[in-house]
Amino acid sequence: MATAVQEANTVKFQQHLAQSGEAVWTVARWLHGTGWYVIVCPVSVTPNYDERMKHADAGDLYVKRERAGKAERVEVKRRGVHFTCAEDFPYDDFFVCACHAWDNATPKPSVFVILNADMTHAGIVEACTHRHWTATMRFDSRYQEYRQNFYTAPLDKVEFVPLL
């Protein structure tokens, strides 16, 4: 049985999930415009905390270079920070994802595309850089009393690109 805080956080999660579609479609249009075949995955929303694991997805997007090519998983996130490049990124490391999201992912994402607040630029982190990531415990300020382990990447493992 979920606590009141868990249910409140679930409502916030549902709101954030609804808002994430704009970032996913922004990246899908950008990738499509650069020549990739793009598949946008459907979203399943948990009705409550206790059923959340039944609604875990298998990715935001899948991309292929060629019609008959192998599809690769892409995860999309939008950060509430402003950046255009490594030099103006406000932190010493780059948030990739929650550790459990990577550790339990099937299939593993090939790449993470993390948008800035204005969705004009992105930091791209390829999965092959995983050995350089660091796990760190942090509070997620979007939720009440919620700490979890996150993977971060050093800025030299992030490719910063304009989306325009």
The pLDDT tens digits for 56-79 are: 777 899 999 888 889 999 999 999
Select 4-162's CATH number: 3.40.50, 1.10.8, 3.40.1000, 3.40.1350: 3.40.1350
- What is the three-class DSSP state of 109? coil
* CA-CA-CA-CA torsion sign (137, 45, 17, 66): positive
Domain coordinates in residue numbering, the chain: 4-162
With a CB cutoff of 8 Å and minimum separation 6, the contacts of 51 are none
Name residue 91's amino acid: Y
| pLDDT tens by residue, the chain, 164 residues | 888 877 766 566 566 656 668 999 999 999 999 999 999 998 766 777 676 666 577 789 999 988 888 999 999 999 999 999 999 999 999 999 999 999 999 999 999 999 999 999 999 999 999 999 999 998 777 767 777 899 999 999 999 999 97
* CA-CA-CA-CA torsion sign (107, 113, 118, 120): negative
